[in-house]
Structure 1
């Protein structure tokens, strides 16, 4: 869900802005800021690099397994809290306001809030908590600085976009892996188990994959609408080649949330069909698709491939 978190926040915020009649440029800015903040909680996965560096093998699957085993020691914990999110969003708004008007008071207040959050994490989770939350605070400040530099959004708009992004993130994680510690630093559980689409582990994985695709489609359609592009004109007929992926049901292990790499990497590779050059039969000219056409065709191919695999799995 790394990509899905950001795309969902973008679709939610930019789509709502478009419905309210906000001009496309501002709606895109709001969506982009929300997307950036929605991705910020996953900075905690940086700790997984410790496991990769210490891995005693070069086997790709083993390294990936070590990556997640190490990362899950802190992943979806302190940075995924709905208690912490509003405080961080307020800090971002105060920092932006201080940068906009040139007053140190706002910067000091924002720094104090973030320092408090880091200190609480250190008190509750020790040195690891301090390290992870400090990375999170740094990511938040970096996003806020980018917002100040590249957009004209004010503190209130930034607060709203940041809050939506930060709060939406942990709920997206309920479908994969262990449930986030949403009430951190309090010792209380909001969701004890992840949400499942099916008792069949493969269908459960395919359900999560389908949800991710729907999220990406939502974000793409909002972006196309705000940018004035037509989806019909952007999708090439070669996307239908994704149906051939159905044969992979015989070639790769049945995917689950615990063993998803062969399926995920191979089905995403199908999307490369969107970037493949087109050769004119009559003109014999090679034409490269533009970025929008490549993205839309590739995503359509991946979607068709996912559906084809699901059908083949049910029939097999």
Structure 2
């Protein structure tokens, strides 16, 4: 779901900017800023590297992926996923996006840093050193984004604040079907929802539903890019996408995937989509004086859209075969 968080925030922000009459570049830029902020809460997964280090040092029956995700559950979806934290962090990041070297600018920067330091202190007092460490990573990531936006764009600090707020607040909702619910209101306590939303009692169908949500989010983001750049989305889908239907036979050949064991399904279905999207004669074009090669812009758009369409066809085919052929 990491990609889905960023793309959902990007798509909605860019679409709203386009609806408000913004030009193409600033609309895509504010969407990109919102998308980056939406990805920042998952910086807490950095702690999962501890699991890999322990696995390498001690060995054991768990594989590397299991060790990684096992360690991530210690702190993942906690302090960085709080709506309260997002409400405080977003204005802080906006203050840090103020430009200039005057005393006023320095004062706003100090105010933003003070808010972030307060968040780290709260995490330390309420949840201990590990939570504070993760909050430091969260704050540092946001500072880098804010200062980068201030240096390389003309977006107003208030726009950065709104983009950050939308990105940070949109993130937790994407976790409802893939794991334990986030710590919504840290440090004030959590609401009643204490377990993931189950899409279906069959764990494989639940995974397919969660995967479909992620795929729909990616398709939505691509559709927004096509709209903002005035391209025809129907003309961008190549008929190669229909080849994805062949993936239906995988339901007969491999172990049914679940949220706990899904790597074989995810990597294989994405591989089918990439093959359908990339294989085309017009993908590369020459450029420069040394006859190097790069994909054309239109080819990149077509590849992305065809890949997503092929994965969608493959997902539907897999689901149909699983429902009709695979015994329950």
Shorter-chain-normalised TM-score: which range? over 0.9
Matching residue of 1:283: none
SS in 1 for 2:135: helix
Matching residue of 1:228: 230
Q: How does 1:66-215 map to 2 (within 5 A)?
A: 66-97=67-98, 99-100=99-100, 102=102, 103-215=105-217
TM norm structure 2: 0.89
Give how far 1:145 is off.
Answer: 1.6
Q: Name structure 2 gaps, 5 residues minimum.
A: 283-293
SS in 2 for 1:76: coil
Deviations 1:27-61 (A, max 9, x none): 11111111010000000001101111221499998
Single out whichever of 170-179 and 290-299 deviates more from structure 2.
290-299
Provide the rounded CA distance (Å) in 2 between the counterparts of 1:100 and 1:275.
Answer: 45
Matching residue of 1:304: 313
Provide the rounded CA distance (Å) in 1 between the counterparts of 2:208 and 2:62.
Answer: 20
Provide the rounded CA distance (Å) in 2 between the counterparts of 1:59 and 1:267.
Answer: 30
Deviations 1:155-189 (A, max 9, x none): 11111111111001001111111100111112333
* Aligned CA distance change for structure 1 residues 204 and 154 (closer, same or farther; 3 Å): same
SS in 2 for 1:232: coil
Matching residue of 1:282: none
Q: How does 1:263-302 map to 2 (within 5 A)?
A: 263-273=265-275, 274-278=277-281, 290-302=299-311
Matching residue of 1:15: 15
Provide the rounded CA distance (Å) in 2 between the counterparts of 1:101 and 1:312.
Answer: 63
Deviations 1:193-246 (A, max 9, x none): 111211111111111110111111111100111122222332221111100000
Single out whichever of 149-158 and 188-197 deviates more from structure 2.
188-197
Q: How does 1:228-247 map to 2 (within 5 A)?
A: 228-247=230-249
Give how far 1:311 is off.
Answer: 0.8
SS in 2 for 1:247: helix
Deviations 1:242-297 (A, max 9, x none): 00000110222111111111111111111222112439xxxxxxx97722121111
Matching residue of 1:62: 63
Provide the rounded CA distance (Å) in 1 between the counterparts of 2:213 and 2:311.
Answer: 13
Provide the rounded CA distance (Å) in 1 between the counterparts of 2:61 and 2:37.
Answer: 30
Provide the rounded CA distance (Å) in 2 between the counterparts of 1:275 and 1:96.
Answer: 39
Q: Name structure 1 gaps, 5 residues minimum.
A: 280-286
TM norm structure 1: 0.92
* Aligned CA distance change for structure 1 residues 299 and 61 (closer, same or farther; 3 Å): farther
Matching residue of 2:36: 36
* Aligned CA distance change for structure 1 residues 38 and 230 (closer, same or farther; 3 Å): same
1:313 counterpart = 2:318: no
